[in-house]
Amino acid sequence: MEQLFEHTLQRQLVEQKEHTSRVELQVATLTEMVSQLLIRNAAHPVQQAAGTMVNAAVVNAPVTNNIVNIHPWSSEEKLVIPASMLKSAFTENKRLIEYGHLTDEEKTDPEKAAPYVLEALVDLTKRAHADPAARNVYLNPRRADQVMVFDETSWQVRPLVEAIRSIFDSVADNIHRIIVRDDERKSLPLSVQSSAAWIPNMYEDEPEAYVANARPHMSAHLQNTHPHPHPQQLT
pLDDT of residue 151: 86
Average pLDDT rounded to a whole number, residues 70-74: 91
pLDDT greater than 70 at residue 120:
yes
Instruction: Tell me the torsion sign for CA atoms 89, 95, 99, 101.
Output: positive
Polymer length of the chain: 235
pLDDT greater than 50 at residue 5:
no
Q: 95-115 in b/e burial notation, b at 16+ Cβ within 10 A?
A: ebeebbebeeeebeeeeebbe
pLDDT in tens, 17-28: 665 555 454 444
pLDDT of residue 60: 37
pLDDT in tens, 85-106: 999 999 999 999 999 999 999 9
pLDDT greater than 50 at residue 136:
yes
Contact 149, 136 (CB under 8 A): yes
Confidence of residue 40 (pLDDT cuts 50, 70, 90): very low
6: burial class by Cβ within 10 Å (0-12, 13-18, 19+)? exposed
Q: What is the CA radius of gyration of the chain?
A: 27
**Cα separation, 67 vs 79, whole angstroms:** 19
Of 221 and 65, the structure prediction assigns the larger pLDDT to 221
Q: 48-71 in b/e burial notation, b at 16+ Cβ within 10 A?
A: eeebebebbebeeeeeeeeebebb
Average pLDDT rounded to a whole number, residues 184-199: 96
**Cα separation, 121 vs 215, whole angstroms:** 12
Mean pLDDT over all residues of the chain? 79
Average pLDDT rounded to a whole number, residues 198-227: 94
Question: Residues with Cβ < 8 Å from 118, sequence gap 6 or more?
Answer: 210, 213, 214, 217
Contact 69, 54 (CB under 8 A): no
SS3 assignment, position 158? strand
Write the CA distances from 68 to 51, 134, 135, 144, 214, integer angstroms.
Answer: 8, 10, 10, 26, 28
Among 27-36, 60-69, 154-163, top mean pLDDT goes to 154-163
**Cα separation, 27 vs 147, whole angstroms:** 39
Average pLDDT rounded to a whole number, residues 166-194: 96
pLDDT of residue 234: 33
pLDDT greater than 70 at residue 152:
yes
> pTM for the whole thing?
0.71
pLDDT greater than 70 at residue 39:
no
pLDDT in tens, 41-68: 444 443 434 444 444 333 333 444 557 7
C-alpha 14, offset from chain centre: 54
Angle between helices 160-180 and 83-92 (to 10 degrees): 100
User: Left if phi > 0, otherwise alpha if psi is -120 to 50, otherwise beta: which for 91?
Assistant: alpha
Average pLDDT rounded to a whole number, residues 126-147: 93
pLDDT greater than 90 at residue 166:
yes
